[in-house]
Structure 1
């Protein structure tokens, strides 16, 4: 179903870029029954066009070196699959986004320092904070998400006492692709204007993490597993989930347990009538 700027189209809507149903100070873009800023749509479109151009250049390069490649591997035989090699990125002297763009799928990237970039990820990767010092992700453009994931399984990992901190964006982490899956473990998501984590499409697993001082802590429009977290002092709800009872076309799927929740100005769980799992809040 195509998205449109007016009306309320039923979820899901292919290619939609959703955010929380709150004003942003400028006319928002409505898609699939939820709102997204023009800035977020522009981010998605820019990176999509960039990826198409890179793919075109890559295909041309492969055609150019094809004969040489066949000679190297011997006749028509094929070489073995290349293993993804670990990468270490030290910010701010190196670009994490460039490392992400150039990495093979399933690469593990260790992050050192504070990276000031709006990250856009469309492949399976692991981003791991330096186990000795931790690491911080913050945006260069504060009215966009710090981390946007459209495809693949992305692991965002810290260590006890040395977390990966995601802070300072309009949202900390957003999934905007049905095939996107994101895992947060030992992560601090704090001080993001509209929300900490937005599950617009796809699935997010959040565990052993802290979600605090955001707009809404966690907003779920698709699927989320949330366990063993501290969710506190958010200006909106601690966890908010859509349902047909609210007029949405779908019910969000929320599972998990043992979350410490307190001092969320909009309430810890919104709406109260949503079928929250037993033991979800401790």
Structure 2
């Protein structure tokens, strides 16, 4: 039996509104469940605190708020955010790559408001070497890094978006 047509478009909208509400509610619930419930923010005051220890102790999805200049060669192998406060710097001290991020492709690292400097890569990526992950640099600066082959500042075998960044 055919469904009778309504005279106004508004009545058709009302008829489909519950389905749209369910779709939006379901999508919102999926987004909420995708975010880690236990994500934490940890402040790391360099040079007095050890950034690599904070990286190692952080859970996937956490944020490390970096203050000051952290000197060393840092490695990240899980999804993290490193957010710099005013003037925060990661300095490789010309003793190796400043930051290495190891994949797989499911690893997502975001660097915001940081300067990466003083990196000396042996082959690729003196300041940052993205080895298969997704590393997003936002409003960051990569400068004064070297490499013996390619990518003195940034070397990437993954995805590396650079919104609002400066490379020198």
The separation in 2 between residues aligned to 1:143 and 1:118, in whole angstroms, is 8
The separation in 2 between residues aligned to 1:101 and 1:183, in whole angstroms, is 20
The separation in 2 between residues aligned to 1:182 and 1:193, in whole angstroms, is 19
1:182 Cα offset (Å): 0.1
1:206 aligned onto 2:165 = no
Residue equivalent to 1:58: none
Residue equivalent to 1:183: 136
Q: Supply the RMSD in Å over aligned alpha carbons.
A: 1.3
Give per-residue Cα distances to partners, 1:175-212, cap 9 Å, x unaligned. 113xx11000111100002211101x211111111100
Question: Bigger relative contact order, structure 1 or 2, given CA contacts below 8 A and separation 6+?
Answer: 2
Instruction: Specify the structure having the higher radius of gyration (Cα).
Output: 2
The separation in 1 between residues aligned to 2:115 and 2:79, in whole angstroms, is 20
The separation in 2 between residues aligned to 1:108 and 1:134, in whole angstroms, is 17
Residue equivalent to 1:230: none
1:134 Cα offset (Å): 2.7
The separation in 2 between residues aligned to 1:143 and 1:185, in whole angstroms, is 25
The separation in 1 between residues aligned to 2:145 and 2:73, in whole angstroms, is 13
Give per-residue Cα distances to partners, 1:74-117, cap 9 Å, x unaligned. xxxxxxx8602110000001001000000000101100000002
TM-score of the two chains, using structure 2 as the length reference: 0.69
Runs of 5+ in structure 1 lacking a partner? Answer: 1-80, 159-163, 213-282
The separation in 2 between residues aligned to 1:186 and 1:89, in whole angstroms, is 19
1:93 aligned onto 2:48 = yes
Native 8 Å contact 2:92 2:127 kept in 1: no
Residue equivalent to 1:145: 97
1:196 aligned onto 2:153 = yes
The separation in 2 between residues aligned to 1:192 and 1:139, in whole angstroms, is 9
Residue equivalent to 1:261: none
Runs of 5+ in structure 2 lacking a partner? Answer: 1-35, 121-125
The separation in 2 between residues aligned to 1:205 and 1:174, in whole angstroms, is 13
Secondary structure class of the residue paired with 2:47: coil
Question: Superposition pairs for residues 182-261 of structure 1, below 5 Å?
Answer: 182-194=135-147, 195-199=152-156, 201-212=157-168
Could you list the structure 1 runs, at least 4 aligned residues long, displaced by more than 2 angstroms after superposition.
none
Aligned residues: 121
The separation in 2 between residues aligned to 1:197 and 1:182, in whole angstroms, is 11
